[in-house]
Amino acid sequence: MSLEDFVHRTSSYWMRADGPEDEMVMSTRVRLARNLANLPFPMLATEGQMDEVLERVNRALRHPSVQALGHFEMLPMNRVHELDREVLMEKHLISPDLVEHPGRSAVVLRDDETISIMVGEEDHLRIQCLFPGLQLKPAWDLASRVDDALEATLDWAYDEKRGYLTACPTNVGTGMRASVMMHLPALVMTDQIRRVLHAISQVGLAVRGIYGEGTEAVGNLFQVSNQITLGQSEEEIVHNLYGVTRQLIEHERRARQLLLEQNRPELEDRIGRSYGVLRYARRLDSKETMQRLSDVRLGIDLGIITGVPKGILKELMVLTRPALLQTYEGRELSPQERDVHRAALIRERLRALSA
């Protein structure tokens, strides 16, 4: 596939497919940080050394062990327009850092976008596997297979005592970050979210916004991930995060039931108003769109809204982001124009679903 294919295909596998517990868990991601032995980390490497990293990775992609996992395409970031980089970020295929500092870097994508490998970000490689719903074990299994396939030709920086060596000390050890993107509107509405998230932080997990560290939690979406990578095995990290995710699911489920039992008229009114705004509004900014989509998704999950597929939140929360919206329209848009086109796009999608 070409860059244009990846940019203009608005729906990745994790967005369009169903998954376990996807009423509350939008997606699962497992990321492995890896560096090549005998080369400086990207922040200290020369342009020539980073070119060597890119060339080594490019050669590794042609090895039969990697090709057995599917078809991969390497996209050099310095040849990708900034708007297209933002599209890849909005689809969760690259990080915000790679958008702002393309330098000597690239992203390697499998056709279905389940696997993405950032080359030359904070570490030489960051291997990411992204699945719909709660699928920590499958995501870890696939990431491990990619890791093993690349290691057939690449020599990782590894220490017998410390594990995999990484640019940031918090990633030393397994180099693994496992995360789940959760939709927790009822915990927010019942004012339980702060207490619950505080409890999560006490067991070695972090809570971030939808695009990772330093980003805002909008649309009642929270990214929960491990903080500890040293002293725990990959299996322990996956097991611990899975257990906490199951508890969060139960907390959210009870909070939804509480809202139905104690505040059903108010809840139905809020959901109905948000659905009406999305159906008929002529201008919508990003933040309001995410909140209205969150309300509607809750209404779908609770059976208050029928005839609208539950995947609408995942699809529209990405499709209506600024860069993807401009790509969809085929031209650059001012913030005011984006608000108008965003509302029009949502009206069209909801009208098509109800036709």
Over residues 331-345, mean pLDDT:
92
Annotated binding residue at 162? no
Q: Cα dihedral sign for 204, 209, 211, 215?
A: negative
Percent of the chain with pLDDT over 70: 94
pLDDT at site 307: 86
Quick check: 44 pLDDT over 50? yes
124 is in an annotated binding site: no
The answer to whether 28 is annotated as binding is yes
* pLDDT given at position 328: 78
The pLDDT of residue 254: 97
CA distance 201 to 220: 18
Please compute the mean of the pLDDT values over residues 296-324 and round it to a whole number.
87
Residue 52: band (very low, low, confident or very high) from pLDDT cuts 50, 70, 90 = very high
Q: Does 209 carry a binding-site annotation?
A: yes
Distances in Å between the Cα of 24 and the Cα atoms of 146, 283, 310, 334 are: 28, 28, 11, 34
- Cα separation, 311 vs 26, in Å, equals 9
Q: Is 239 among the annotated ligand-binding positions?
A: no
Task: Mention every residue, 6+ apart, whose C-beta is less than 8 A from residue 297.
Answer: 183, 185, 310, 312, 313
Residue with the bigger pLDDT between 304 and 201: it is 304
Beta bridge partners of 28: 131, 180
pLDDT per residue as tens digits for the range 275-308: 999 999 999 999 999 999 999 999 999 999 998 8
| Percentage helix, strand, coil for the chain under 3-state DSSP, each rounded to 5 | 50, 15, 35
Of 84-93, 141-150, 335-344, the range with the lowest mean pLDDT is 84-93
Q: Are 113 and 92 in contact (CB under 8 A)?
A: no
Pairing of strands 115-119, 125-132: antiparallel
The annotation status of 327 as a binding-site residue, yes or no, is no
pLDDT score at 214 = 46
Whole-number pLDDT of residue 103: 82
Residues 144-182 pLDDT 10s: 999 999 999 999 999 988 999 999 888 889 999 999 999
Give this prediction's pTM: 0.89
Q: What was the pLDDT predicted at 3?
A: 45
Residue 179 assigned ligand-binding role: yes
Token pair 């310095």 is at which residue? 78
Tell me the C-alpha distance between 140 and 20, whole Å: 16
Q: Confirm whether residue 212 is marked as ligand binding.
A: yes
**pLDDT, greater one: 350 or 138:** 138
pLDDT digit string, tens, across residues 225-281: 998 777 888 999 999 999 999 999 999 999 999 999 999 999 999 999 999 999 999
Contact yes or no for 106/116 (Cβ under 8 A): no
Does residue 215 register a pLDDT over 60? no
Residue 30 in marked binding region: yes
Non-local (6+) Cβ contacts of 296 within 8 A are: 271, 274, 275, 278, 305, 308, 312, 313
Please tell me the predicted confidence (pLDDT) of residue 337: 93
pLDDT at position 4 is 53
Instruction: Write down the pLDDT at residue 6.
Output: 47
Looking at the DSSP assignment, which residues form a beta bridge with residue 195? none
- Residue 352 has a pLDDT of 80
Domains of the chain from N-terminus onward: 3-179 (3.30.590.10), 263-354 (no CATH)
What does the pLDDT average to over 3-27? 73
Assess whether pLDDT exceeds 90 at residue 202: no
Residue 9 in this model has a pLDDT that exceeds 70: no
Q: Is 31 labeled as ligand-binding? A: yes
**Chain length of the chain:** 355
